[in-house]
Amino acid sequence: MNNTIQATATGKKKFCVLMEDDWEVQGNGLGNVASHQYLPSLFMMKLCKRLNAKMTFMVEVVQQLIYNRNIGKDYNFKLQKNLWDDNIILMKEYGFDVQLHLHPQWGNPEVKNEFFLLSKQWNIGMYDKEFKSNLIREAVNYLENLLRPFDPNYKVIAYKAGSWGLQPSGDLFHALAENGIKIVMGVRKGMKIPNIGLDYTALEEGSLPYYPVFEDINKVSGKKEPIVILPLQPYAADLGTLFKLGVDAAKNKLARRDSVRHFYEQPIPAEINSLSPLFSHSKLKVGLRPYPTHLKIGNHPLSFLKASFKDVINRLKDVDSPRVPVVIECHTKLFPNYYSDIEKFLLFIQDKYGDIVDFGDMTSFYREIEANPALVKMKASDN
């Protein structure tokens, strides 16, 4: 790597790796707080503490609001609700950043035995203005009320969109800003999921933080806005890496399926098994790199993790900015069977890129932006 890009005038390294975990059960409502959230996140916290690496847990709060409303129906719900709260407090006690993630499909589910039957609309932008405003306010208040006894200065300042859904953006971004949100993630250049009304193919900035036009987040604003967008970093595997990924996925498919089914002593309702509004996102494209995605850590082998990070850093090394945030989307719920790969990957980043890369979190990076607003891109003027 080019040593001329090691550090900025402030002593910061060229790249700030922002690992963010979408901390949740499955998008269709299946799973258990103990197995899908507590145990994998505990692994990640202990690993990061040992390696002195920061990260942010973007915690999905709507699920918790629903557990709260249903704790009288089944003590299992109450147990998971309490474990969820304690897990968040543990994150804070261990020194990790805790921020907001919302899956609106949890908003008003039907409860059938021990199953929650969720909505098919997974993009919060497509809900009405009142729903969005109320949900964001309730979720922010829940997190701040939970954590301020342990950190009086705690604030929710970052939001990761559930299912990457941020369109239409106008009412949504005004509601986020009104509730203190400063950083938003979820956009990726080229991403399009018609089933949920998501289209980022016209994104004007795909690498650097930018101030968005609230009415169309594909556009970069000509003025300083109250919210900064951190784009996800695109990656498309070459055919060799993709082949290894496919072999690994096939090998572990049955184990992952059983990891959900064994919690239930009855068949999973058909309406849950058929709930998959994101199916078009996973379709392969034609070409030498047919699987467009972004930097992520989940159920991926080490070969994929290393290739993706190397590809993104090589693409960004000539970007004209002294400090480039590199968001890595994590799903700790998928970590079982991949703990060794994840540990080796973080060690790989430190060993191979430690001269130009450090780890941050959303709160610390926003402080950098406050100190140096020039890190955020905006247009010279709006027409």
> What range defines the domain where residue 136 resides?
3-375
CATH of the domain at 364: 3.20.20.370
- Percent of the chain surpassing pLDDT 90: 80
Q: What percent of the chain has pLDDT over 70?
A: 90
Q: How far apart are CA 119 and CA 272, in angstroms?
A: 10
In a domain, 162, yes or no: yes
Give 151's pLDDT tier (boundaries 50, 70, 90).
very high
Q: Is the dihedral of CA 31, 334, 331, 86 positive or negative?
A: positive
Angle, vertex CA 329, rays to CA 186 and CA 173, nearest 5: 20
Within a domain: 212: yes
Residue at 352 is within a domain: yes
What DSSP string describes 296-356?
EESS--HHHHHHHHHHHHHHHTTSS-S-EEEEEEE-GGG-TT-HHHHHHHHHHHHHHHTTT
End-to-end CA distance of the chain: 40
The predicted structure's pLDDT at residue 3:
36
**383 in any annotated domain:** no
Query: 46 is written with which tokens?
Result: 């202990």
Domain-embedded: residue 39: yes
Residue 50 lies in a domain: yes
Whether 380 maps to a domain, the answer reads no
Query: What three-state secondary structure class fits 216?
Result: strand
Taking a C-beta distance cutoff of 8 angstroms, is the pair 323, 368 a contact? yes
Q: Which among 78, 48, 47 has a CA at the least distance from the CA of 64?
A: 78
At residue 65, does pLDDT exceed 50?
A: yes
Spatial separation of the C-alpha atoms in residues 25 and 158, rounded to whole Å: 20
Task: Count up the domains in the chain and report the number.
Answer: 1
pTM for the full predicted model: 0.93
Report how far residue 58's alpha carbon sits from residue 101's, in angstroms, rounded to the nearest whole number. 5
Residue 1 has pLDDT above 50, yes or no: no
What pLDDT was estimated at residue 279?
A: 64
At 229-286, the pLDDT tens digits run 999 999 998 888 888 888 887 777 655 555 555 667 678 888 898 787 886 565 666 5
Q: What is the pLDDT of residues 181-225, one digit of tens each?
A: 999 999 999 999 999 999 999 999 999 999 999 999 999 999 999
Measured distance CA(100)–CA(136) in Å, rounded: 9
Residue 21 has pLDDT above 90, yes or no: yes
In a domain, 382, yes or no: no
